[in-house]
Structure 1
Amino acid sequence: MSEVSLARRNFLKTGAAAAAALMASAAANAGIPAATVKKYDEEFDVVVVGSGFAGMACALKASRAGLKVLMIEKMSVVGGNSAICGGNVACPVNPVQKAQNIQDSKELFIKDCLKDGLGINYTNLLGVIADRCNDTIKFVEECGAEFVPNKMLFEAGHSVPRSYEIKAGSGSGYINPMFATMKKEGKVTVRTRCKFDDFIMDGDDVVGIVCREGYRFNAKLQSDDLENKTGKTKYIRAKMGVMLAAGGFSRDIWFRQVQDPRVVPSTDSTNQPGATAGVLIKALGIGATPVQLCWLQFLPYCNPREKGFGVSVNFTNHACMDFGIVVDRKTGKRFMDEHAGRKIKADALFAVIGNDENYPIAVADDAIVKAINPSFVKLPLEMGTVKKFNTLEELADFYKIPKEAFLEQVKKFNGYVKAGEDPEFHRNLKFSNGLDVSKAPFYGIEVSPKIHHTMGGVMINEKAQVISTKTHQPIKGLYAGGEITGGVHGASRLGTVAVIDALTFGMVAGEEFAKMAKA
């Protein structure tokens, strides 16, 4: 059995012993005492570490309150994973839902999140998202983000359509206009290739950071940085505080395997190379409370023939799993609810893939393709990950699927759509809009999960303040939002909730700094 196959078969279970060892290690590094800093190179009101959704939202909100803000990014370009993610965003009880008579509620949103999160979500944080999501949408629209008008996506695991579709087809639809707004307003200092190295501490309070300007990221060295000494060290004072928006650690080979030894170095991830654990480890070292670090989420929409996120995720998600079907190529039959949450689907996919890389086949038809965003189809076809066929028989022959069983399965599924009920896997067909798999040409693609989101991180409260393990109270001067935090999503998050999570808590942190300015 290969390392990768072993990881695929066994990733479903998790353990917590590694977290205790990690905390003991992190405690050995408790920041730089302020008393030892002879001179600060610069002084800002707020320092934001990271330039994705949470970082940009915080920086904009704080700077608009008249604060002097520095945003640093260790990579050569801004945006991180936020720039390359799918970009669609959940927002319960929004105006488009109301106009279309879609019945939603804060309680239903939280219930849906708890189902996929296995009940270990922090509902107080989900409540903040539900209460503030419409403010968040307004905020990004004012920056220039554009959504497909009058459209609500019915994302997997959600009970009702509640997700806006970003016109750009990726998270760049927020990052680019937010960054452009930031540059136009000219109130935020942005530095790329600037790596966070440590906190400067006055007792238990965060009063600044140590960073390196001119840093050159080396993916082979990961986040430990034991050998990469590039860049010039700077000491930056943060008069009001530091906001952590450094994302998750899906590309951190050592750290993710510490959390779950079954995830081996060769296990692929959808994340950009800079998604490492360096900032998180330093936060734990100064007493930030760790939450659910050993839960790693796999994205069930990936193609095994392309590296990383690739170009196929949106097609597989919104064409094949929202409206089409997924079949076991050995049997020609469905084996899961294609509209279930990510963990449920990833579990089911890994069970089918097994040790022999039996990648399931996701299928959609022409009517489905025409109903979704055209950009979701164009690139996968050009890259060859999605294949186009004149008949279902041709599709079955190409992927070596048992033809009769496959055709019978498609017929049964089409009947379920017509009846509005799926007796096999109880898929919610209420919002299928009559789309089935019946109109040529047909499209097929291989599917295999990849590490996508690290569920755990530092604990925050409703004000985005990081909570101390020592006092159980906020660490003065330390805030966080997005994937570097834990608890919002529990064991597994619903699609499109990460975007609203990061944007909202970034916005909340910025508002907290703004309140300080007025005090």
Structure 2
Amino acid sequence: MTELNENNNELTRRRFLKTAGGAGALAGVAASGLFFGTKRLEAGEIPQKWDEAVDVVIIGSGFAGLAAAIEAKQAGASVVIIEKMPLPGGNSIINGGLMAGAGTPLQSKEKVDDSADLMYQDMVKAGLGLNHPDLAMMLAKHSAEAVAWTVALGAQYQERNTHLGGHSVPRSYYTTNNSGAGIVHPQLKKVKELGVPLIKKCFLDRILQDDDGRVKGVRVYEKYQFPKAGSGILKTIRANRAVILAAGGFCQDVPFRKLQDPKIDENVASTNHPGATGECLIEALRLHSNPIQLSWIQLGPWSCPHEKGMGIGYMFALSAAFPYGVMVAPKTGERFINELANRKIRADAIIKTGAWAVGIADQEGVRRVGKLDTMLERGIVKKFETLDGLAEEFKISREALRKTVAEYNADVRSGKDRVFGKPFQKDAKPLARAPFYGMHLWPKVHHTMGGVQIDTGARALDLYQKVIPGFYAAGEITGGIHGAVRLGSVAVTDCIVFGRIAGKNAAKERPWT
């Protein structure tokens, strides 16, 4: 009787989606100007003749998609990657270049006591307990292995761990070029060596699912001109084994993100590249994928309001002001939050002050900041011979700032932050060595924690927690791993870990006939 009810539910659900498209999916399509507003959402028809055929079709060319492509190809599958933008890499290639790993050789060298369990606990604490435990633990357990995998591909990292907000210990590798390109370029090189085609300007129009529920291929627009909906030439690609969705998040899709959180409207800037929109997520929802925590959208507290997009000022905040300096509210000249708290806590605190915060570091603190000269040339970061000069520029009370810095320095000397509990670095020193540096800080939309539900094998699950045959997902387009707040540098680890898993498992899928 149970089986009969489940089958009836399945048939009813399919019939509804064929005729109406589902309320949630239909609302999302109507809301976003980048989607085809008149596109019907009936189940895609399987073509009698395909234009191309491969074993595995991968949608997206960032960390996750490239990792999946490498593993699937090395497992013996034929693979193609499709990318809607003119250049590969998506957000990954402009990412900050930080990757978290627990129990790495670099930690051992620096005598940092860490473990997968501790990393998991940090993730769950930041995620407010909304993390799906099996996924979060899978990421933590394979984090060190994922870092080593990128090193084997040719990624180069600085010879030190970075301690980011919300992490109990320093566990983040930092690329030598201070950018995610330091990981993406070696991945692209390997993809090319393996002979995997990467088709740029190729827009996913439809994931093709048969009446038996099996995903069997995709319909795309080749020679697509972003963001011109419907541009290009329609083409079908058969996926003999599986389709892997690795298309990233929807931070730049203002209509869709406003559906999830109306406060994050067009007045809130984003660090993401222009193509970070939600049409692939909507398409996955049309296939009955289970949406997880879509309304949890993260703002980055290290963003400079004087730059567009990600910019480069975040390097000053992450490497100097937060770990070795202070962040103050100009109205009071006082610290108002632990500079190494998780991203949500800091972003919320900045917004609550009602004005751009100011990140401050001294000459000792900026020793590790990449591209500092460029920041100074652009006026993003400003340099002063005295704290009074900095206070005057940023319209902070001189007396208040002096008092704040004096109290902070006393805490550094004692080894304990008495007010906010900030964990001081082993090499932390008082904020006293001129010149001094300052930068405005205001949050930008950075990461969408929610997405489609997957299992530990990166298989996409439907509303009934059943695997959608032939359908995988990895990276930011998935949900449940990070919960309410993603810790800095864990996104790269997430993409590499689950991208590799998706690629390996997709290559093992039994071909359909």
Q: Which segment is superposed worse, 445-454 or 256-265? A: 256-265
1:121 maps to 2:131: yes
Q: Residues 333, 176 of structure 1: CA spacing in aligned structure 2 closer, same or farther, 3 A cutoff? A: same
Aligned to 2:350: 349
Q: Residues 325, 30 of structure 1: CA spacing in aligned structure 2 closer, same or farther, 3 A cutoff? A: farther
Aligned to 2:364: 367
Contact 1:482 1:506 in 2 (8 A): yes
Contact 2:470 2:509 in 1 (8 A): no
Amino acid at match of 1:437: L
CA distance, structure 1, for counterparts of residue 374 and residue 467 of structure 2: 46
1:198 maps to 2:203: no
Across the two proteins, how many residue pairs are aligned to each other?
Answer: 479
Q: CA deviation at 1:426?
A: 1.2
Amino acid at match of 1:486: G
Moved over 6 A (4+): none
CA distance, structure 2, for counterparts of residue 25 and residue 301 of structure 1: 33
Aligned to 2:376: 381
CA distance, structure 2, for counterparts of residue 399 and residue 131 of structure 1: 44
Any residues of structure 2 matched to 1:131-210 within 5 Å, and which? 131-149=141-159, 151-186=160-195, 188-203=196-211, 204-210=213-219
Contact 1:87 1:172 in 2 (8 A): yes
Aligned to 1:439: 433
Amino acid at match of 1:246: A
CA distance, structure 2, for counterparts of residue 299 and residue 262 of structure 1: 15
Amino acid at match of 2:274: P
Aligned to 1:22: 24
Amino acid at match of 2:294: L
| Matched position secondary structure for 2:197 | strand
CA distance, structure 2, for counterparts of residue 304 and residue 153 of structure 1: 24
Q: Percent identity?
A: 40
What TM-score, normalized by structure 1, do the two folds share? 0.90
Q: CA deviation at 1:213?
A: 0.4
Q: CA deviation at 1:66?
A: 2.1
1:482 maps to 2:475: yes
CA distance, structure 1, for counterparts of residue 231 and residue 276 of structure 2: 19
Aligned to 1:71: 81
Aligned to 1:96: 106
| Matched position secondary structure for 1:197 | strand
Contact 1:57 1:506 in 2 (8 A): yes
Contact 2:470 2:506 in 1 (8 A): no
1:32 maps to 2:15: no
Amino acid at match of 1:384: G
Aligned to 1:272: 273
Any residues of structure 2 matched to 1:274-289 within 5 Å, and which? 274-289=275-290
1:428 maps to 2:423: yes
Q: Residues 363, 432 of structure 1: CA spacing in aligned structure 2 closer, same or farther, 3 A cutoff? A: farther
Amino acid at match of 1:201: Q
| Matched position secondary structure for 1:32 | coil
CA distance, structure 2, for counterparts of residue 23 and residue 172 of structure 1: 34
Q: Which segment is superposed worse, 61-70 or 73-82? A: 61-70
Contact 1:323 1:432 in 2 (8 A): no
Contact 2:178 2:370 in 1 (8 A): no
Amino acid at match of 1:398: E
| Matched position secondary structure for 2:389 | helix
CA distance, structure 1, for counterparts of residue 70 and residue 505 of structure 2: 12
Aligned to 2:486: 493
| Matched position secondary structure for 1:400 | coil
Q: Residues 60, 517 of structure 1: CA spacing in aligned structure 2 closer, same or farther, 3 A cutoff? A: farther
| Matched position secondary structure for 2:334 | coil
| Matched position secondary structure for 1:33 | coil
Contact 1:365 1:436 in 2 (8 A): no
Amino acid at match of 2:286: G
Contact 1:91 1:500 in 2 (8 A): yes
Aligned to 1:399: 394
Aligned to 1:412: 407
Q: Which segment is superposed worse, 447-456 or 507-516? A: 507-516
Contact 2:209 2:217 in 1 (8 A): yes
Contact 1:245 1:481 in 2 (8 A): yes
Residue by residue over 1:437-477, the C-alpha shift from the partner in whole angstroms, topping out at 9 and shown as x without a partner, is 110000000100000001100000100000011x4111000
Amino acid at match of 1:108: L
CA distance, structure 2, for counterparts of residue 42 and residue 338 of structure 1: 52
Contact 2:82 2:203 in 1 (8 A): yes
Contact 2:56 2:507 in 1 (8 A): no
Residue by residue over 1:377-398, the C-alpha shift from the partner in whole angstroms, topping out at 9 and shown as x without a partner, is 2321121110000011110111
Contact 1:45 1:69 in 2 (8 A): yes
Q: 1:212 aligns with which of 204, 221, 240?
A: 221
1:448 maps to 2:442: yes
Any residues of structure 2 matched to 1:36-75 within 5 Å, and which? 37-75=47-85
Q: CA deviation at 1:199?
A: 1.0
Q: Residues 362, 25 of structure 1: CA spacing in aligned structure 2 closer, same or farther, 3 A cutoff? A: closer
Residue by residue over 1:29-59, the C-alpha shift from the partner in whole angstroms, topping out at 9 and shown as x without a partner, is 254122xx13100000000000000000000
CA distance, structure 1, for counterparts of residue 420 and residue 241 of structure 2: 52
Amino acid at match of 1:278: E
Contact 1:67 1:517 in 2 (8 A): no
Q: CA deviation at 1:432?
A: 4.3
Amino acid at match of 2:356: Y
Contact 2:83 2:202 in 1 (8 A): yes
CA distance, structure 2, for counterparts of residue 202 and residue 235 of structure 1: 14
Contact 1:302 1:309 in 2 (8 A): yes
Q: CA deviation at 1:479?
A: 0.5
Long gaps (5+) in structure 1: 1-19, 222-227
Any residues of structure 2 matched to 1:235-274 within 5 Å, and which? 235-274=236-275
Q: CA deviation at 1:517?
A: 7.7
Long gaps (5+) in structure 2: 1-21, 30-39
CA distance, structure 1, for counterparts of residue 234 and residue 267 of structure 2: 33
Residue by residue over 1:292-316, the C-alpha shift from the partner in whole angstroms, topping out at 9 and shown as x without a partner, is 0011100000111111111211111
Residue by residue over 1:214-256, the C-alpha shift from the partner in whole angstroms, topping out at 9 and shown as x without a partner, is 00102xx6xxxxxx22100001100110000000000001100
